[in-house]
Chains A and B, each alone.
Chain A
Amino acid sequence: MRRQIITLARFTFLEALRTRLFFVYVVGLASIFALTFFIQQVAITEASRIEIAFSAAITRLLAVFLLSLHVITSVVRELDDKGLELTLSFDLRRSDYILGRLLGFVLIAVLVATLAALSQSILAAKGGVLAWGVSLALELVIMAALSLFCIVTFTQLMPAMCFVTGFYIVARALSAIRLISKSPLSGESPSQHVMSWLVDTLALVLPGFDRYAPTAWLADGGAQWSAVGTASVEAAIYTSLLCAAATFDFYRRNV
């Protein structure tokens, strides 16, 4: 790997430390822990299960939101400060820039997932937490790559963040949408067939996030490492796709 890629990744990671991303994240995790403890106190039955389910769901949303926002604002800041022009004036290919930044964001994603898994290990069984943490890391890696692709393509915070949010919601709900589109109650009209075909096509180009880090692994046990393995392959392919798409767009931009 080229030295420049490692350097960019290192500075990307340092930027996350210096902008206090991890501090904010840990404060968020502590708040979630306090909130779920309170919910556990008021629950009449299945208190522990409710505590784990709330905690895991909110932790995942916090991790995805903070990471995506960090990736997008980091690149926006670089664009606004003209740091990008300075960086590209060195002996650096545009693909190296994307790879370096992505590598840094992937490291941040892994650390964010590790902290999430550590917080969950206080509540849930360790075996389930490990598989859940690895699976969450894969989900976050894809989201980091997606955020990088969006900000390279849109160059502005609002459209990039809106796209990332919409993508995440659709990717998490896609299995349910596919099942509903094939429901016997949805009829046999041509428009239903077209909708079903569109949903199936969408499923070919979106990751199935509902298979990543299921809360049931923490609440009920029975984590499946085979599912983690499948998710690893999917994450590798999808991150490569997003990286290639971001590089393609970045090469087309006049800087």
Chain B
Amino acid sequence: MSQRNERSWRSVPKSVIAALAIALILETGFQSHQPKTLARAQALHQPPAVSALRLVSLGENIAVAQLMSLYLQAFDNQPGISIPFRELDYGRVSDWLKTILALDPIGQYPLFLASQVYPQVPDPARTRSMFDFVYQEFLADPARRWRWLAHSALAARHRLKDNKLALHYANEIARLAPHAPGWARQMQIFILEDIGEIESAKIMLGALIASGEVRDERELHFLTERLAELESAEKSSTPSKN
């Protein structure tokens, strides 16, 4: 490789140089006449079986799960083409997310995609299917997954305008995730208040204060004030605007 081990290119026979030049011209000419590859949208296929993935991952389940997350996330932007979410098969998207969670149950990426990314589709049925996925997975591990259900509850309330669904999710967080922070466990109270269920909100708020779960003085003060507001609002029969 060093300079002294090489001769000048003039020592190469002209026939070899000519052969090299001709081959190079033929190659570039051949390639420039090849039909260009066209981008075609590919349907999202079924994810491989979890057991097969565990086998091929050689013990690196987390790495494979993360790679699958990135693949799924990038699927709407296949090489050379951009696919709107509404053209994705959300049933298969759910299957992929389930498989990824089965490989890496502690990972939060699939739940982030399901609660924040895929619900952006302008199709309520598909959005609901993603929230339902989040809810089903929340039931399997409420302590780790409550925040994604909380996001889903807020999105159900404000994007889908489905108060019943939002309340159901908020109730489930309060019931199954006792270690979730106060704002998440108290979400049901404020949803009840928003939808005009003042009496229910008042009972739940009173029960929360009486239970002694809330120990932070400022939070307790805020909740007590809130309860007083609800009681005065009920007396005047005007639902709170908060």
Contact = CB atoms under 8 A, between A and B. Distances in A.
A244 B16 CA distance: 6
B212 interface: no
Given A44-B49, A205-B28, A254-B5, A248 B82 contact: no
B19 to A, nearest CB: 4
Interface in B13-37: 13, 16-17, 19-20, 23-24, 26-28, 30-32, 34, 36-37
Interface stretch (A67-75, A117-125, A173-181): A173-181
A252 B11 contact: yes
A247 B5 contact: no
A180 B79 contact: yes
B27 A241 contact: yes
Main secondary structure of the interface of B (DSSP, over half): helix
Contact of A233 (B6, B17, B30, B49): B30
A50 B7 CA distance: 53
Interface in A197-252: 203-206, 208, 230, 233-234, 237-238, 240-241, 243-245, 247-248, 251-252
Given A45-B46, A176-B79, A204 B27 contact: yes
A245 to B, nearest CB: 6
A84 B176 CA distance: 77
Given A205-B27, A251-B12, A252-B6, A245 B20 contact: yes
Interface string B70-89: 00000001011110000000
Interface residues of B, number: 38
B200 interface: no
Given A180-B79, A252-B6, A254-B5, A234 B30 contact: yes
A42 interface: yes
Contacts of A154: 1
A42 B82 CA distance: 34
Interface in B166-194: none
Given A204-B31, A254-B6, A42 B20 contact: no
B80 A182 contact: yes
B39 interface: yes
Interface in B44-90: 46, 48-49, 51-52, 55-56, 77, 79-82
Nearest to B77: A185
Contacts, number: 105
Interface string A36-74: 001100111110001000000000000000000000000
B117 to A, nearest CB: 16
B24 A248 contact: no
A184 B23 CA distance: 35
A103 to B, nearest CB: 16
A208 B77 CA distance: 23
Contacts of B26: 237, 240-241
Main secondary structure of the interface of A (DSSP, over half): helix
A95 interface: yes
A89 interface: no
B34 A180 contact: no
A253 B5 contact: yes
B82 A251 contact: no
Given A42-B51, A248-B17, A184 B82 contact: yes
A248 B20 contact: yes
A155 B12 contact: no
A176 B77 CA distance: 12
Given A43-B52, A45-B46, A237-B27, A248 B6 contact: no
Contacts of A184: 82
A208 B24 CA distance: 16
A225 B222 CA distance: 77
Given A44-B49, A154-B1, A248-B17, A241 B6 contact: no
Contacts of B56: 39
B6 to A, nearest CB: 5
Nearest to A210: B37
Given A45-B46, A241-B20, 18 more contacts: A42-B51, A95-B13, A154-B1, A175-B37, A179-B81, A183-B77, A183-B79, A204-B28, A205-B27, A208-B31, A208-B34, A233-B30, A244-B19, A244-B23, A248-B20, A252-B9, A252-B12, A254-B5
14 contacts: A38-B55, A95-B13, A156-B1, A183-B81, A204-B27, A237-B30, A240-B26, A244-B23, A247-B12, A248-B9, A251-B7, A252-B8, A252-B11, A253-B6
Q: What are the 10 closest A-B residue pairs judged by CB atoms, nearest first?
A: A179-B80, A241-B23, A179-B79, A244-B20, A251-B12, A42-B51, A244-B19, A175-B37, A240-B23, A204-B28
